[in-house]
Amino acid sequence: MRRWRPQLSEWPRAEPHPSTCLMNHSAWNDPDPAEVFHPTNDTEWDAALGRYLGSLQDNPLRRCVQVARSLGAATLVVETRYIDLDYRSEFSAYYSKQFCDMPDTAHRLHFFGRRLTKRSIWRTARSAGYLGYVVVRPTSTGLVSRAMLPPPPDLSDAVRTSVTETVNFFGQDLTITGVPFAQQDAQLGACAQAAAWMCHFSAHLRGEAHRRPKADFSLKAPASLHPSRSLPSGGLTALQLSEVFRTFELPALFYDVGGLPSPGLVWQPPDPVPPIPEKPAGLWDFRIVAIACRHLNSGNPVLVGTTNHAFILCGYRRTNTPKPSWIEFVRHDDQTGPYGLVTDVLADVDPTTGKVYGPWRTMQVPMPEKIWLAPEMAERKGGESLQAASSRIFASWPGTKLFMGLDELIPLDRLRLRTYVIRSNAFKSGLAARGVATNIRRAYALARLPRFIWVVEAVDKALRDAGQPCVLGESVFDATSSDRDPQRLALHVHGIMWLQRTSGKTQFPIFGSYVPYGTGGRGAA
Amino acid sequence: MPEDTELPGYAKEALASLLPADPDELLSEQQKSSLQADLDSLARLRRDAEMASATLRMA
């Protein structure tokens, strides 16, 4: 096995390398069926992982282990001769055709929070605190075939696209919730394929797409849309990516940084003005933030393209550094590992490794086909409707007003909009836990709604920052409607609701409560 | 959990009578016109961005 370990700076992107068979594969399938470790310090962890570390690009594996250790991993079970659907697909498409001998199986590394002995792995795993897995393929250019780990504790509130997978561990069903991660093998696939797979597998686990083996993300990409050979892969063009997502039941919404849409409501920040002399848009187009947040609020990962790399965003959080309400994103980068931090989208440097990503150029958001309405259009119409309704309600309210109208919040810089797409069934079932009044819940529950709806919430920023229920109302849109004519299904603010019936009539008035309630989007408001 | 606006019935009736039954009537004609122009513009921007994507490459 090669012991030379490249520094991150030497790997701005993985290049195809001829040494995929330099990894030591002797006794790859041993021991049968598994090996159990109880490492307690760095040395013992390195020893447990010794057969993998030192390959050409082991940083993602190291980061996976770091995440597992941050969650309190006390037991590592290496399941040998694991037949991994994704690696098998790569093996069939590429590795089986190489001159050197390559194993056709992978290893699956399982992490547990409590001690699990080799003798008891077949019966007590459920009570051992399962922390997830990493599937390791026998290729030195890209070890992590896929991984499913919960976010580390310091980022658990920030991650918004988590999904749940059931894993069969020696006859026992274990569940794990996190954001799927994959590393390119730098031969059949590059970063674009890995990023696309992460988005797609997440959607698969949400029940929105069929499972697709990883090799398909290379084999099904139309070769005619790329000027070079498809193997070894030099990556994908944006069109190829779009075509792959379309073929795999998740047509992607495409954003070109520098020409990003914004709802343009009067109380929202004006669009940025391109600087003179000209600079790459990824250095000044702050609309990236709002666009990414809308999709992350929906639980959908965002695939970001720079000039020579692709990765996904899977969460965000607010901090007060360098200024109040600053947004930091959470990133899965196939070359550095899961759950990295993006501290500044317009000057993107990894705060841990120092890796310079460069200006962002594109964003793609794969989504179920029938979400045709774009979020910016829903927000444009929803925001204005909410403000207009609030004004009329506030002006007409009899007696003492026990709430602030949206017009009062605007000059105080307290009004925000939070937009997300959600399955209508999930929207309905989540209302009670959010503290929505009974009459409003009843009206929504009985309403005929399409499978997906866009929801535009009016949020009181002061309440949000104080960690209190902060939603003052929402406007709900049919996700199958047109960008040019978003169809509003419901409008509800300060406890008064208009509901569109499929008969064409509007049900009004429906009285609820002016008391704020919780958000229905993913994660904290 | 809040159950109602806590307004008495007659006040609810009075409030409802001051509000339009059709939420589209909450916007003035000028607001509606401006909204439609913005939606058209956003829709065009979306199409333009998608057409511009053909040559972008990601490793």
| pLDDT tens for each residue of A274-292 | 999 999 999 999 999 999 9
By the 8 A CB rule, do A266 and A204 touch?
no
Does one domain contain both A362 and A379? Answer: no
Q: Is residue A52 part of a domain?
A: yes
Distance, CA of A163 to CA of A169 (rounded, Å): 19
**Is A356 inside a domain boundary?**
yes
Return the residue of B nearest to A375 by Cα: B42
CB contact under 8 A, A508 and B19: yes
Domains held by chain A: number: 3
At residue A14 the predicted structure's pLDDT band, cuts being 50, 70 and 90, is very low
Q: How far apart are CA A189 and CA B5, in angstroms?
A: 58
Decide: A15 and A308 in contact? Cβ < 8 Å. Answer: no
Structure token digits, residue A44: 């013992």
Q: What one-character-per-residue DSSP string does A417-474 give?
A: EEEEEEEHHHHHHHTTTTT--HHHHHHHHHS---SEEEEEEEEEHHHHHTTS--EEEE
Residue A103: is its pLDDT beyond 70? yes
pLDDT in tens, A161-172: 999 999 999 999
Do A502 and A448 meet the contact criterion of CB atoms below 8 Å apart?
yes
**How does the average pLDDT of chain A come out, rounded?**
93
Of A310, A336, A366, which marks where a domain is finished? A366
* pLDDT over 70 percentage in chain A: 96
In a domain, A214, yes or no: no
Confidence band, pLDDT 50/70/90 cuts, at residue A389: very high
Same domain? For A387 and A507 the reply is: yes
Last residue in a domain, options A155, A185, A215: A185
Query: Contacts for A101-105 with beta carbons within 8 Å, 24 or more apart?
Result: A101/A21, A101/A25, A102/A20, A102/A21, A102/A25, A102/A138, A102/A139, A103/A25, A103/A28, A103/A29, A103/A138, A105/A28, A105/A29, A105/A80, A105/A81, A105/A138
| A50 and A111 share one domain | yes
Instruction: For residue A523, tell me if it sits in a domain.
Output: no
Shared-domain flag, residues A415 and A361: no
Instruction: Please tell me the predicted confidence (pLDDT) of residue A22.
Output: 57
Nearest Cα to A350, choosing from A339, A366, A362, A361?
A339
Structural domain ending residue among the three candidates A346, A366, A386: A366
Query: Three-state DSSP class for A98?
Result: coil
Task: Kindly calculate the radius of gyration of chain B based on its CA atoms and give it in whole angstroms.
Answer: 22
Rounded Cα gap, residues A168 and A175, in angstroms: 9
Same domain, A148 and A45: yes
At A20, the pLDDT band (50, 70, 90 cuts) reads: very low
Stretch A187-205: mean pLDDT, rounded? 97
Res. A23: pLDDT tops 50: yes
- Please give the pLDDT value at position A18: 40
Per-residue pLDDT of A411-467, as tens digits, reads 999 999 999 999 999 999 999 999 999 999 999 999 999 999 999 999 999 999 999
One domain, residues A359 and A421: no
Looking only at the bridges linking them, the beta strands covering A130-136 and A144-148 are antiparallel
Residue A79 corresponds to which amino acid?
A: E
Looking at beta carbons, which residues of chain A come within 8 Å of B6?
A: 513
CB A339 within 8 A of CB A152: yes
Q: What is the pLDDT of residue B35?
A: 96
Q: If pLDDT is split at 50, 70 and 90, which confidence band does A7 have?
A: very low
Domain of residue A146 covers 8-185
- Find the angle CA(A483)-CA(A486)-CA(A492) to the nearest 5 degrees: 145
Mean pLDDT of A379-403: 94
How far is the C-alpha of A233 from the C-alpha of A218, rounded, in Å?
8
Task: State how far residue B57 is from chain A, nearest Cα, in angstroms.
Answer: 4
| Of A123-127, A313-317, B52-56, the least confident | B52-56
Going across the sheet that includes A337-342, the strands are A252-256, A362-366, A302-305, A310-319, A326-333, A337-342
Inside any domain, residue A30: yes
One-letter amino acid at A498 equals W
Contacts of A13 in chain B (CB under 8 A): 59
Tell me if A240 is assigned to some domain.
no
Model confidence at A19, pLDDT cuts 50, 70, 90, reads: very low
Any CB–CB contact under 8 A between B19 and chain A?
yes
Q: Are residues A353 and A379 in the same domain?
A: no
What confidence score (pLDDT) does residue A513 get?
Answer: 93
Tell me which chain B residues have a C-beta less than 8 angstroms from the C-beta of A439.
Answer: 3-4
Is the same domain home to A13 and A125?
yes
Nearest CA to A416 out of A294, A250, A330, A246 is that of A294
ipTM here? 0.89
Q: Are strands A452-460 and A415-423 parallel, antiparallel or unpaired?
A: antiparallel
Higher pLDDT, A20 or A277: A277
A320 vs A8, more confident: A320
Contact B52 A389 (CB under 8 A): no
Mean local confidence (pLDDT), A208-216: 97
Helix (H) or strand (E) holding A26: none
SS3 of A15, please? coil
pLDDT band at B3 (very low <50, low <70, confident <90, very high): low
- Which of B6, B39, B58 is most worth mutating to test chain A (most A CB atoms within 10 A of its CB)? B58
The structure tokens listed for A284 are: 């000044």
Q: Phi and psi of A268, rounded to 5°?
A: -90, 160
Asked if omega into A33 is within 30° of 0 (cis), the reply is yes
Residues A176 and A80 in one domain: yes
- Cβ atoms within 10 Å, residue A117: 11
Same domain, residue pair A350 and A382: no
Task: Kindly state whether residues A301 and A171 are assigned to the same domain.
Answer: no
In a domain, A525, yes or no: no
Task: Kindly state the average pLDDT of the residues B48-54.
Answer: 71
Mean pLDDT of A222-249: 89
pTM of the predicted structure, to 2 decimals = 0.94
**Helix spans in chain B (H):** 9-17, 29-51
Q: Which of B4, B23, B36 sits opposite A389 (nearest CB)?
A: B23
B11 touches chain A (CB under 8 A): yes
Does A519 reside within a domain?
Answer: no
Contact A57, A335 (CB under 8 A): yes
Confidence check: pLDDT of A114 > 70:
yes
Residue with tokens 């600079």, as numbered in its chain: A279
Instruction: Give the confidence band of B55 by pLDDT, cuts at 50, 70, 90.
Output: low
In terms of domains, do A74 and A97 share one? Answer: yes
- Of the partner residues A362, A389, A511, the one whose CB lies closest to the CB of residue B5: A511
What angle in degrees, to the nearest 10, is found between the helix axes of B29-51 and A375-396?
160
